[in-house]
Structures are given as structure tokens and as C-alpha cells.
Structure 1
């Protein structure tokens, strides 16, 4: 039921008011003595003090129903947008003290010895819906317009945050401290990649859509050690598994290959797609294989040992594609496009399993999908939804919908534009929430388990 996007309810057939005291007495009679919950008592006492209890009762149920349907966009032929949802949540919160968050599974986890908990939490985390209070915690509220984030693969809790105004921050989740580093960018650096080698754990490459590429070693200071100008517009940067090469892509159909040690451009692979290459990602185990995706709806696997004129594997999605990434064991790639289209592709059989997400019929809602939980689960965000979806990889079934109710936040957010999985914690995520015009952005952390 929580996946409904449209709902219409008939008007009430009641013709007379219900006596709230009689209703309360009937409820007490039906239950054993002393078994009426405190929240029920408070609810009925609130009804007792209401001039029109039937109207109050119906109104509260309708507004609560809207809260419990996070994907609902049309109710009784009226559109439910972010503003309406916030007003409804605030009104219910002010009028009725009913806890709306249900977390019995988390309580089970917290009271179970660690040795008895399997790695695959999604096998028993069948549903989690947060409404009044959620697992979302805002990070670094003092910074303006955060846009891109990337976890360090070697140091737990360390990540880079880049902003639309070109500023870059190092953030430590464990100590909740941030450090601004010197940035030569005057616009958002979209491409960020940490080194995966422990000996180079503080090394990072950052590229921007103005064609500028910087190499940092934070163990030596906040200044970039090298800056390369006059490149194509960069939206994606990625290092291979042995940190010998890195690739960049952007608002072109080309992919650029660089030598990491010399930082020299080695080769330009042209016309890999018919539209701009949105993302290029290396394999996790093979230093020669990388995957790309584009707005031409195609995802492809390429081999650097060839001239990349023909892809090793090519797969056509149902919509234009926004992201692609390898699984940890490189047996699958995950592609994400528009309107909640996310698919995990088995590279051996070249067959895909679509995540069972509700379609919004909105081609302007862009999704991002990433593997988590050791590749057994997939986390999905949508630029027009305030909900993180967690689905099982092997059958696509959605097991968690985590909704961010931002009535307590300073800004009004409409969706999630960026999400990253914590490499050291299976169900921890950092994400950037946005409004439709991208004038308001906020950095949040979500800890489900």
C-alpha cells in the first residue's frame, strides 16, 4: 500500500456525530482492564475536547494516511507536493501526539547479540518507514550549496564534499569536524575519486565542468599538487583498481585516459556513445575494464587492451541512463536512469533484473543507484523524491523505503540529487537533498542499522 502514487476516497456516509465518550467506553470494554495504550488515551481525550469529533476524526485519518504514503502525488484529484506534505505533517504533529515511526526491526537488531546477526540485513529488514522522526541527520549545515560527495575507501568516516560555488571540504563523520581545502575551482567539481591503495589513502583527484583537473595529497597540505587546465568539461573521474590509470568523462562522447604517476593524457577514446558520457567507472578487480553510460540509453563495458572501437558488452536500458557502476565482484553492473528505472545486469548471461520501484511517469526525475550490503542490496535515490529505496539485488524486490520528513529543517527540499554508500558500514549513506531549482541544497547522513 505504501507504494501508491494516486488515491481517491469516497465521502463519508455518516449522517450524525459519534459520541466520543461512548466510543471511548466501547474501546475500553473491548480491551482487558489496563490495556489501553497511552497514545490511545491521549487521542480519545483530544476527541473529547473537539467540537466536531467526527470531522476531526476523519480529517486526522486522512492527513495521517497522506503521511504514510510517501510516494503519493495525487489525492482525490488534488496534487500532493512537498509543501502540502510538510503542512500536513506539521498539522498532525501539532494536533495529535501519535508516534508515527515504526522501528520494531531496529529494536530487534539492537537487542540481538552481534554473532547472531547475518550480514544480509535485508533478509529480515522487510520494511522501514520513517515519518515524524527519521534516520536522516543534517551534516555541516553551515556550508552553502553542497553538491557532490565521495567517501574515502581506506579511512573510515572520511569524505570530500564539493559545493556549487567551487568550495571543497574534508569532513570526518566520527568527529563531526570539517576542514576547508584550497580550491582553484569557481564552479562545482563534479568528478571526485580517492585512491584505493592504502599507501596513497590521502590522495585524491578532483575535476570540474570547466575542464580543470586537480591532484591532491592531503597528507602534504591543503593545496593541490598539480592542476591541469583546458580539458573537456568533466563530470566523472575514476581510478582503476591498481591506481595506475584514471579516466574522465563529461559533456562529450569521449573518454580520456590518463597515467596516474605522470598525470599525462595518454589517449582519447572518441565516440563511445551517441550522446554525452555521463559516467565512466573502472572495474573493482580488473585494471583494464571500465563501464560507461549515456543519455543514448546504452551502457557498455570497454577493454583498454583494445582500441575501444567495439564494446565488450553493450546493454540498452529503458530510459536515458544517468549512472553505472560495477558490483564488488565485477559479475554485475548497475544502471540507473529516469523515472525510478534501475536495473542490475548479470554480465555472464547479459540479462537484467529491474528494481521494483513505483514509476512516477516523470522523465525529468533522475535516479542514482549503487550497490550496498556487499552487493546484495541496491540503494536508489530520485531527484524528485525525498525517499531512499533499498531493494534486493537478486530479485529486485524493494525492502526498505526511508522517507525524509524535513519539516524541522530550515529549507524545503524536494528530492535527493546525490547519494553515496559508506564503504565501511553496509546501511550508512550520505546524501545531498535539493529543491527543484537547485537553489537550496543540504548534506545529510542516513544510518538505517
Structure 2
């Protein structure tokens, strides 16, 4: 970020000095690249993250299906998927640029979006429906099929740039959801079901003991405060913001919201931690923003 924003003066409440800028340039040149032709190091951050995800040594020479940039996946509006190699031309067809492989893919109806993961071994498909499918790129086998992931049809679905297990769906219900293939994919939690997961493998780190209301419409939102020592949580059918310890899960304080007069209540629709204050204040509500 420092190398990309040369006029940036402060980051994480610390002033950026000359030494920081020089170090940022070194890190940028080592782990990131604009063009592959200007690569200065054999490993980019993508390959490092891939080796960490799969548990392989960085010296392993893993050749993915698209390692030479000659393969591409094409989706058609009739629901069919095709894998092409641009080097396999068809001499008898003058208007053809490449030939399809023999990998059979199960059709995905109402197909509108196709995306390949960071390790070039899985294909993510979505369409004008609430469904998502994931295929093995080398065999064509459908590995996962999920339905009712949103309340309205999905507009687009994309894998993460660096993690082959994460993908995001964007829907006409105005929601964006992130999913992790390493965990059981279910509908997002509601009614004060708040859990803290380990990013490395998706395991549950902490389950917060917050009593449910019994309403399926009590949508819950939780965020880290600046500094990540505290977690704030609120729900749209309740007029309280809960402050919890991120390490132990212990509930530290409940802050009840009221309107301008004592009889009017304020329900929580969104939450944000103050970006300039590391901790919340026990004496006031200044470190949290609720709407």
C-alpha cells in the first residue's frame, strides 16, 4: 500500500518515513509484478500462498493445467462448458481458432458466469438462478452443487485471487457473500449466532455465548474493532450492541441504544469500529459507529 500510494503520509496511526518507503519498494519488487516479462524473482506471492495452502514445499515444480497459458474455459448460454487449447488449431476450419478437449462437463442451466480458481484445477459456475456449481477442471466431474445460496438470482461468482478455497457470490438480492470450501457451506447465520473462525483452515476458534431471540429475521452483524482485541455485534431486531473479547469470547459490555426520547428504540442495521481508536471507551460510546 505504501509503494502504491506515494503521497500517503500516515498508515495505522503511524507516520510513514523514508525507511518505510524504501522497504515498501523492496517488498513490492520481490513479491509483486506488473508483467511476467519483468519478473525479477522466481517465486511470486501467488506461488508462495499456493504452496502454503496445499502444504507443499516451495521447491516442488507443480505444473498446472494452464501453466503455459494455452488453455481456456468457455461457457455458453445453453449451459454447456468447454475446455480449449489455443495451440490445437483446426486446419480444416478456417474460422476456428482452437479445438475443444474431450473433457465432459455436466451442463449448468442459465449459465452466465465462469471462473477458474488460483491453482487452475477447479471451475466455478453461476447463472440466473440461486445455484452454484464447482467442477474439476481435468476430469469434468462436478465436485459441489449448491442451491438457494441467495434470496434472488446470482449475478456473478468469483474465486479468490490467492486462495483456491474461497469464493464470493454477488446477487440481485443486494448481498455479497464469501464462502469457504474447507467448511460446510450453509446459509449465513442469523439470530445472534456469532463464531470466530481460523482463517488458515476454517475451524471454529470461538463461539460467542449470545442468547437467540427465536426470530429467523434477526440478522446479526459482527465486526472487529481497530486493533482486533474486541468484537462488536448487533442484530436488526434488537436495540443493543455487544462488546466481546476476541481472544476469550467473554462478553465485556452491552450498550443499549435509545432515540431522542426514552420510549423510542434504535435497532442495529450496521456496525463499524472507529478506524482511529484502537479500543472502545468504558465511559462512552465514542469508539463504535452504529446505524
Q: TM-score, length-normalised on structure 2?
A: 0.39
Q: Quick check: which one's helix share is greater?
A: 1
